[in-house]
Copies of this chain bind each other. A is one copy, B any other.
Amino acid sequence: MYVSAWSANPVSTDHLASTLCRNMEREVATRIAQQGVLLKFQPDHVIFHEGDEADSVYEIVKGMVKLYKLLPDGRRQITGFVSAGDLMGLAHNESFIHTSEAVTDVVLFRIPKARFERFIDEVPGLARSLLIAAQDELNFAHDQLLLLGRKTAIERISSFLLSMAERYAEDVDGQEATIHVPMRRCDIADYLGLTIETVSRGLSRLKKDGVVKDMNGGRMMVVNQDRLSSLSAGDDSVDL
């Protein structure tokens, strides 16, 4: 079905139903698709390293990818999780400013940056769409600044679950929503500026208080959204 990693076969355009291409004619989408390749990665595999030459742009077709930055002593900050329809590597830097690693099994569409940039100039409205996408990302990053700078551990964990519910809810029924949380505690911790122990304690607390429930298959949960929402803004509180 999918071309294996780093092969160069032409691919279908099915995956281009993303934010990026929403307003794009099928003909253009096809042209873009013909310039790139599909790649597959397994969990924990590095897609690119901070500092690598940034000569490609990637679109996530399937699965989830984490982006992170490291300090010299190994402290890590995950700056975001991206999934189907999101782009990586578009910034005009010479080299990547993040490391990118697969969280789940992942399929990516990769295109040389120079070619993609040509499309930006040629396709009417593409630059504008990318601008809107970048502004949305910026808004999200600013919310995360508030979270990291000023929220308590339980507020961060609640905010995280809430945003996962907004982005990845599989089944919503009023207050309840079944969500998929494919990343490890360690990733959640490095995303929220906490330790795995604090994340674990926070989640245990939320379970005990009936705000979330751990579903069978290890990676599914049920949520009481209103409570989560007030916890995430500090309007409500529980002790760890």
Contact status A77-B149, CB under 8 Å? yes
**A62 near B: Cβ within 8 Å?**
no
Within the complex, the shortest CB–CB distance from A50 to chain B, in Å, comes to 11
B141 touches A145 (CB 8 A): yes
Q: Map CB proximity to B onto A110-124 as digits: 1 under 8 Å, 0 otherwise.
A: 000000000011000
Please report the C-alpha to C-alpha distance between residue A144 and residue B151 in the assembled complex, in whole angstroms: 15
Shortest A185–chain B CB gap in Å is 16
Q: Which B residues are CB-close (under 8 A) to A235?
A: 72-73
Interface string of A87-113 (1 = CB under 8 A from B): 000111100011000000000000000
Which of A91, A131, A144 is the most central at the interface, judged by chain B CB atoms within 10 Å of its CB? A131
Q: Given the known inter-chain contacts A71-B150, A72-B234, A233-B71, please indicate yes or no for A91 contacting B135, CB distance below 8 A.
A: yes
Residues in B with CB closer than 8 Å to A22 are none
A138 lies within 8 A of chain B by Cβ: yes
The reply on A142 being an interface residue by CB < 8 A is yes
Over the window 41-84 of chain A, the binary record of Cβ atoms lying under 8 Å from chain B Cβ atoms (1 yes, 0 no) is 00000000000000000000000000001011101110100000
Q: Is the CB of B151 within 8 A of A148?
A: no
A138 to B137: give the CA distance in the assembly, Å: 7
A124 to chain B, nearest CB (A): 9
Q: List 10 A-B contacts (CB under 8 A).
A: A69-B146, A92-B135, A97-B139, A120-B128, A127-B128, A131-B134, A141-B141, A144-B145, A145-B145, A150-B193
